[in-house]
Amino acid sequence: MASKHLIQPRTLKGFKDYLPAAMIPREWLIETARGVYRSFGFSPIDTPALEYAEILLGKGGDESDRQVYRFVRGQREIALRFDLTVPLARFIAQHEHTLGLPFKRYHIGPVWRGENTQRGRYREFTQCDFDTLGTDGMLADAETGLVIHELFRAIGFERFTIRLNNRKVLSGLLETLDLKQQAVPVLRALDKLGKLGKERVTEELVSAAGASPAQCRAILEFSAIQGGPREILDAVEPRVSGSPLGAEGVAQLREVVAGLEAGGVGQDNLQLDLSIARGLDYYTGTVYETFLGDLPDIGSVCSGGRYDDLASTYTKSHIPGIGASLGLDRLLAAMEELSMIEPVATPAPVFLPFFCADRGPDYCRLAMSLRRAGLATELYPNPRKLGEQLRYAGRRGFKVAVIIGEQEWADGTCQLKQLESKEEERLPVSDLVSRLLELLAP
């Protein structure tokens, strides 16, 4: 067998392995999101990775955008899901009568897109979505923001901003100004305000949206309104009161803001921004984005909004809803950059070296007693030299080693070594659990 030709171990371009040091914070973040979603009554679902291509792409759907992995098997054209929203639409259309509405679900799972990998994007990534379907009540919109707020607090952030908008307000203004048909070029121009300044944006409003000087002035005044959410709404209300849509947008925002404030979202974490253009073709009311105070440039790490009719491709039932999605990979990259992630490659804090070869069962017994006390413990499997075992433990990132040799087995003591500080202490084995719980308390 020595001359056997080896296959070079490697992953496909755009795909990657997660080693423990990357996977441990990833699992922690997913567990944290799951815990917050569940605390609001969102239920887990899962759907297949593979579906009929027609289901995922629609008839004659344009797959080039999404770079869908698609292939033929037997008689069937099948594809790998490229998001969790299209499967949700199919799912709710198929199971509506079993599930009943309203229906609150979360869905955490991998999706695949054969995108250009040059921008540091991967072709397989995990989405963490939550949605409330079958309701147009603004309490659902408020609770969506509360989920985002609780989630970022649970992760450990204090400095973050939830940006809130309702697309109806700007639409209402444009209706009032007789520019309703020009929403897309107006938003596109407004989006550049920070970069280009008022004058250049005015030029674009004139050239691309055909706006008059008065219309330009009104739009720029509108986008310059600043202050707390209520101040902004008070200033905006009279400007859109001529439009039922605009008035509805303001009223909805008032309800959402009241819910967010009652639910504990402070002024520092909430910002009303009536020009957020996100999801132009998709969201119809409330829109959310979330920015990190210490790393705003990485963009929104949790975004979502309200849609009018989710599943019209598959059912005549009209199913409105609201949802958002945590940008897992982007957030992990940010946490890494902000040194919020401890570089460890083991989920266990306690390391138990094995170095009296004939005492295997005794080590097993001790390890189990620590585990049953809630102390995750790795027992080294071979009776190697202690130094070698401790170097292994240091590389992995264990917090403490519990060292017991023949002497200690005989007299019922152990040596406890903190692996970073190298501090050592000797104590009776009978005190070990309580001492470890104390040392490892968060």
Q: Please give the residues from 11 up to 70 whose contact with its own copies meets the rule CB under 8 A.
A: 11-12, 15-20, 23-24, 26-27, 31, 34, 38-52, 54-55, 58-59, 69
For position 343 contacting its own copies by CB under 8 A, the verdict is no
Compute the least distance from the CB of residue 144 to its own copies, in Å. 10
* Residues of span 95-134 touching its own copies by CB under 8 A: 95, 98-100, 102, 104-105, 110, 112, 114, 123-124, 132
**Tokens read off for 34:** 């799951």
Residue among 284, 296, 41 at smallest CA distance from 144: 41
**3-state SS class at 151:** helix
What does the alpha-carbon distance between residue 208 and residue 213 come to, in Å, rounded to a whole number? 13
Compute the least distance from the CB of residue 109 to its own copies, in Å. 8
What does the alpha-carbon distance between residue 420 and residue 438 come to, in Å, rounded to a whole number? 17
For position 341 contacting its own copies by CB under 8 A, the verdict is no
Compute the least distance from the CB of residue 37 to its own copies, in Å. 8
Compute the least distance from the CB of residue 377 to its own copies, in Å. 7
**Tokens read off for 435:** 């001492």
Q: Applying CB under 8 A, which of residues 32, 135, 271, 303 lies at the interface with its own copies? A: 135
Of 52 and 426, which CB lies nearer to its own copies in the complex structure?
52
**Tokens read off for 275:** 């020009």
Listed ranges 6-14, 179-187, 244-252, 276-284: which one lies at the site for its own copies (CB under 8 A): 6-14
State the Cα angle at 333 between 151 and 159, rounded to 5°: 45
Q: How far is CA 318 from CA 96, 133, 143, 229, 315, in A?
A: 11, 10, 22, 31, 8
Q: How far is CA 399 from CA 339, 355, 367, 392, in A?
A: 18, 19, 15, 12
Size of the site for its own copies (CB under 8 A): 115
For position 78 contacting its own copies by CB under 8 A, the verdict is yes
Of 204 and 378, which CB lies nearer to its own copies in the complex structure?
378
Cβ-Cβ contacts under 8 Å for 161 (sequence gap 6 or more): 268, 269, 270, 271, 290, 291, 293
Q: Applying CB under 8 A, which of residues 225, 277, 315, 405 lies at the interface with its own copies? A: 315
Residue 419 has what DSSP assignment? Answer: T
Of 72 and 410, which CB lies nearer to its own copies in the complex structure?
72
Which DSSP helix (H) or strand (E) runs through 256?
Answer: helix 244-262
Listed ranges 74-82, 200-208, 415-423, 434-442: which one lies at the site for its own copies (CB under 8 A): 74-82
For position 405 contacting its own copies by CB under 8 A, the verdict is no
Compute the least distance from the CB of residue 57 to its own copies, in Å. 10
Which DSSP helix (H) or strand (E) runs through 77?
Answer: strand 76-80
Of 39 and 212, which CB lies nearer to its own copies in the complex structure?
39
Compute the least distance from the CB of residue 134 to its own copies, in Å. 9
Q: Applying CB under 8 A, which of residues 176, 289, 346, 400 lies at the interface with its own copies? A: 346
Is the separation of the CB atoms in 283 and 305 below 8 Å? Answer: yes
Residue 48 buriedness (CB in 10 A; 0-12 / 13-18 / 19+): exposed
* Residues of span 251-310 touching its own copies by CB under 8 A: 255, 258-264
Angle between helix 229-240 and 244-262 (nearest 10) = 170
Compute the least distance from the CB of residue 301 to its own copies, in Å. 21
Residue among 266, 76, 9 at smallest CA distance from 160: 266
Q: Applying CB under 8 A, which of residues 6, 214, 410, 441 lies at the interface with its own copies? A: 6
What does the alpha-carbon distance between residue 185 and residue 403 come to, in Å, rounded to a whole number? 70
Of 261 and 273, which CB lies nearer to its own copies in the complex structure?
261
Q: Applying CB under 8 A, which of residues 65, 76, 268, 437 lies at the interface with its own copies? A: 76
Compute the least distance from the CB of residue 263 to its own copies, in Å. 4
* Residues of span 195-254 touching its own copies by CB under 8 A: none
Euclidean distance between the first and the last CA atom of the chain, given in angstroms as a whole number: 52
Q: Applying CB under 8 A, which of residues 381, 410, 421, 422 lies at the interface with its own copies? A: 381
Binding mask 356-375 for its own copies (x = CB under 8 A): ----xxxxxx-xx--x----
